[in-house]
Amino acid sequence: MSKEEKVLKKKSPRNAKWGYIFIIPFFAAYICCTLIPQLMTFYNSLFMNYRDGLTQVGPKFVGLQNFVKLFSPDNSGTIGILKYFGNTIILWLMGAIPQIVVAMLLAVFFTSYRLNIKGQQFFKTVIYMPNLIMASAFSMLFFTLFSPVGPVNQLLLGAGWVDKAVDFLNIKISVRVLISLMNFLMWFGNTTILLMAGIQGIDQSLFDAAMVDGASSTQTFFRVTLPLLRPILIYTVITAMIGGIQMFDVPQILTKGIGMPNRTSMTVVMYLNNYLTTSKNYGMAGAVSVVLFIISAALSLVVYSSLSRQYKKPARHRKY
C-alpha cells in the first residue's frame, strides 16, 4: 500500500479496534477447531505414541528420535521421505504447469471482447464439471478406462499400435502421467474460474482505454491484464503449490495407496497417511507433518515475497 494510505490509517485510531474485531471470528474458529489438534500433532512428534490394536502405546518422550528415524536410510539405502518429496514435486509440476497455463489462456479467451466466444456459459460449466465428481468416483472411472481389458487398450490393440495390452498402472511414466492428467482435469476449470473472476474484477475502462490507445491484444494482456491480475496469480501459484505438496487423494486411490510401481508415485501425504490410518502413529506422523510444514511454509514465503516484490511497481498504476 502507498504511503498516503498508511498516513490516513494511522490518523484514525479507531481503525485498530475494528481490525481486531473483524479478524476475531476467524481466529477464534481456527484456534478451536484446527489449531489445537494441529499443535497436539506437532508436539507429538517428540513422543513415541501409537495404537497397537486397541492398546495405546506411549506417549513416551523420545526427543528427536522420530526425526532421526525419518531421515535414516531404509534397508535398500533410500531415505524414504526425500524420495517421496521428489515424487511429489515431479507429480506437482507435471500437473500444475499445464493447469495454470491452460487456465490462463482460457480465462483470457473467455474475457476477450474481441474473440467474443459463443456458448461461453456452456464451456465454463463443462470445464468445471470434473471437479464435481468425487475423487474416488473419478478414479474408479480412470481405472475402468485404463485397465488391461479397458477401452483404451481395446483401441490401441484394435488400431494395431501395440501387440499386447499396456498395463498403464504399473509403468512409472504412465502412472505419473495419469495422476497428473487427473489432477489437471479436476483443477484446471477451478483455476480458470478464479482467474476469470480476477479479470472480471479489473475495471473495464482500463481495457477500453488500452483499446482506444491502439494496443494489440497481446499488449493489453501483458501491460494491463497481467499486472492487475498479479495478486490473483500469486494466489493461484501458491495454492497450486500447497495443493501439489499435499497431493493425496488421486495417487492414493489410483495406486491403491502403495504408490506403484516401486513407490515412485507415493507422495509425502500418502506416506503421512500410512502412519496415521492404522496405528494412529502420532509420533512419526507428527514428525512428517513438521517437515512438511517447514518446507512448504518456506517455499510459499519465497514465492510470495518474490512475486509480490515485482508486483509493487506496477501497482502504482492502480491509483487511477
Partner 1 sequence: MKKKLTAILTASAMVAALCACGGSQPAATTAAPAETPAATEAPATEAPAAETEAAAETEAAETEAAAEESSEGKVFNIYAWNEEFKGFFEKYYKVPDGVTVNWIITPSDNGAYQQKLDEALLNQENAADDDKVDMFLAEADYILKYAGSDATQDITKIGVTDFSNTYNYTVQAASDANGVVKGVSFQCCPSALIYRRSIAEDVLGTSEPDEVQAKLDSWEKFNAVAADAKAKGYYMTPSFAETYRVFSNNCTTPWVDADNNLQFDPQIEAWMDQTDEFIKNGYTLTAGIWDDEKNAQMFADGKTMCFFGPAWYFNFCMGNAQDPEKGCSGDWAITEGPAAHFWGGTWLMAPAGTDNPTMLADIMNTFINDEEVCSALVENEAQFSNNQAVNAKFAADESYGNEFLGGQNDVAVFSAMTDNIVWENHTIYDQLLNEGLQNQMQEYYKGSVDKETALKNFYNYVNETYPAIVTPQ
Partner 2 sequence: MKNNDQSEKARIHLLMLRILVYAILLFLTFLCLVFFYMLIINSSRSNAQLQAGFSALPQGNFIKNLKNAWTDASINIPRGMLNSFIIASSCAILTTYFSALTAYGIHIYDFKLKKPAFLFIMAVMMIPPQVSAVGFIQLMMKLKLTNNFLPLIVPSIAAPVVFFYMKQYMESVLPYEIVESARIDGAGEFRIFNQIVLPIMKPAIAVQMIFSFVQSWNNYFIPALLLDKAEMKTVPIMIAQLRSADYSKFDMGKVYMFILLAILPVLIVYLILSRFIIKGVTAGAVKG
Question: Which option in partner 1, partner 2, none does residue 89 bind, with CB closer than 5 to 8 A by kind?
Answer: none
CB of 64 to partner 1, least distance (A): 17
Site for partner 2 in 202-221 (CB under 8 A): 202-205
Among 38, 112, 217, 273, indicate the residue that binds partner 1 (CB under 8 A).
273
Check residue 31 and report its DSSP letter.
I
Indicate the burial class of 112 (C-beta count within 10 angstroms; 0-12, 13-18, 19 or more): middle
Cis peptide before 59 (omega within 30 of 0): yes
Point out which residues pair with 61 in neighbouring strands.
47
Q: Which residues contact 104 (CB under 8 A, 6 or more apart)?
A: 195
- Using CB under 8 A as the binding rule, whether residue 251 contacts partner 2 is answered as no
- Using CB under 8 A as the binding rule, whether residue 135 contacts partner 1 is answered as yes
The three-point CA angle 157-161-166 to 5° equals: 60
Among 20, 61, 71, 222, indicate the residue that binds partner 2 (CB under 8 A).
20
Q: Which three cell numbers stand for residue 316?
A: 502504482
Q: Which stretch binds partner 1 (CB under 8 A): 211-219, 226-234, 243-251, 307-315?
A: 243-251
Cβ-based nearer residue to partner 1, 225 or 249: 249
Question: Which option in partner 2, partner 1, none does residue 297 bind, with CB closer than 5 to 8 A by kind?
Answer: partner 2
Question: Which option in partner 2, partner 1, none does residue 237 bind, with CB closer than 5 to 8 A by kind?
Answer: none
Residue 51 CA, chain-centre distance (Å), reads: 31
Cβ-based nearer residue to partner 2, 128 or 261: 128
- Using CB under 8 A as the binding rule, whether residue 225 contacts partner 2 is answered as no
Q: Which of 32, 52, 36, 33 is nearest to 44 (CA)?
A: 36
Site for partner 1 in 44-103 (CB under 8 A): 50-55, 57, 74-76, 80
* Interface with partner 2: number of residues (CB under 8 A): 105
Question: Which option in partner 2, partner 1, none does residue 261 bind, with CB closer than 5 to 8 A by kind?
Answer: partner 1
Cβ-based nearer residue to partner 1, 134 or 212: 134
Backbone torsions φ then ψ of 275, nearest 5 degrees: -75, -30
Print the binding letters for residues 94-133 with partner 1: x by CB under 8 A, - otherwise: -------------------------------------x--
Print the binding letters for residues 167-186 with partner 1: x by CB under 8 A, - otherwise: x--xxx-------------x
Under 8 Å between Cβ of 283 and 49: yes
Question: Which option in partner 1, partner 2, none does residue 260 bind, with CB closer than 5 to 8 A by kind?
Answer: partner 1
Site for partner 2 in 121-160 (CB under 8 A): 121, 123-135, 137-138, 141, 144-145, 147, 149-151, 154
Check residue 54 and report its DSSP letter.
T
Cβ-based nearer residue to partner 1, 166 or 315: 166
Q: Which residues contact 138 (CB under 8 A, 6 or more apart)?
A: 130, 182, 186, 250
Question: Which option in partner 2, partner 1, none does residue 293 bind, with CB closer than 5 to 8 A by kind?
Answer: partner 2
Alpha helices in the chain (DSSP H): 3-11, 14-30, 36-44, 65-70, 80-111, 120-128, 135-146, 151-159, 172-201, 204-212, 217-220, 226-245, 249-254, 268-277, 282-315
